[in-house]
Amino acid sequence: MTSESSPTARALQVLELLQNQPGTTADQLAAELGVTERAARRYVAILREAEIPIISVRGRYGGYRVGRGVRLPPLVFTATEALGMVMAVLEGHHEAADSADPVANALRKIMRALPEAVAAQAELVRRTARPVPDRHAAPADPSITAQLVHACSLRRQVLIGYRHEDGPQWSSLVEPWAVIVRLGRWYLLSRRVSNGAIRTYRLDRIHSVDLQDATFELPADLDPVAVLEQNFAIGWEYATEVEIDAPADEMSGWLSRTIGRLEPIDASHCRLIGSTSDPAWYAEVLATIPASFRVISGPELRGAVRALGERLLAACGG
């Protein structure tokens, strides 16, 4: 910050310094700001005039610190809300006590601004609780995510740089429809400009975003989550078709849209059409439904179902 900065801007910089380094003295503030000690004390006074409780502690380990209860409306939380916020961060598999994690660092700043009586229980959880790492989770880069969310809101095309799991990199010009988080993974639902195909990209594999001038219109009545899950069920290595002796509405509660598309055959039968790269897993999913079924097409799935049935029969001595 230059010497031409306003007193208010300087005072805000002092507030940030004191929040990050409680116990900073007037001469240390002066050195950080490149001003006199008298000027540093004046900026502290400006903060106090704004009803921000800046506490001065005397002695060898004294200095200035920000008192409890600094709040910027409408960020006024109850104790239950504060605890819920900490739990949400932990459930997202962030190390809530790790200052290197941007989410945890933001949480720490919010907690420090709350009155002690409100923050006490939540602060204890923040400092002591640890999430179990989710091996399936794929954290996204906050900067990449912010750029994509911005492009979605503006409805402008983006050129994304993508890195595939096995190493190859490529670029694609897309219309970014929505950013979705599902089961610990972040996805971009989009439509490719070149051929109109709907594509889903994992955000942790997007390494660059270039905002374009061209705009687009979203499809009418778009349900991003439904389209995302339907998109998961197509394009895999082995096509599948299964007839189920139960109504489609009943089976929709047992089979996710990521498994395939359910089509009614009649009032008491339906058809499941999808694809998979793991027939054994697909067979195990089908084995959980409370209805009989038949594999109509997909030799890989048929073999997997047969192998699963033989294994279950062997387990009961049959």
* pLDDT tens-digit map of 221-277: 899 988 888 888 877 889 999 999 999 999 999 998 889 999 999 999 999 999 998
DSSP 86: H
**Buried b / exposed e along 206-224 (16+ C-beta atoms within 10 A):** beebeeeeeebeeeeeeee
Q: Given its phi and psi angles, is residue 41 left (phi above 0), alpha (psi -120 to 50 degrees) or beta?
A: alpha
CATH code, residues 233-315: 3.30.70
Around Cβ 240, how many Cβ atoms within 10 Å? 25
Q: Which amino acid is at 169?
A: Q
Tell which residue, 284, 277, 290, has the closest CA to residue 312. 284
Predicted confidence at residue 95, as pLDDT, reads: 64
pTM of the predicted structure, to 2 decimals:
0.55
Beta bridge partner(s), residue 244: 270, 293
Predicted confidence at residue 217, as pLDDT, reads: 94
Domain span(s) for CATH 3.30.70 in the chain: 233-315
Domain span(s) for CATH 2.30.30.520 in the chain: 142-220
CATH code, residues 7-66: 1.10.10.10
Average pLDDT on 4-11 reads: 69
| Mean pLDDT score across all residues of the chain | 83
Predicted confidence at residue 3, as pLDDT, reads: 40
Most confident of 71-85, 121-135, 284-298: 284-298
CATH code, residues 142-220: 2.30.30.520
Cα 191 to Cα 185: distance, rounded to the nearest angstrom = 19
Pairing of strands 206-215, 198-202: unpaired
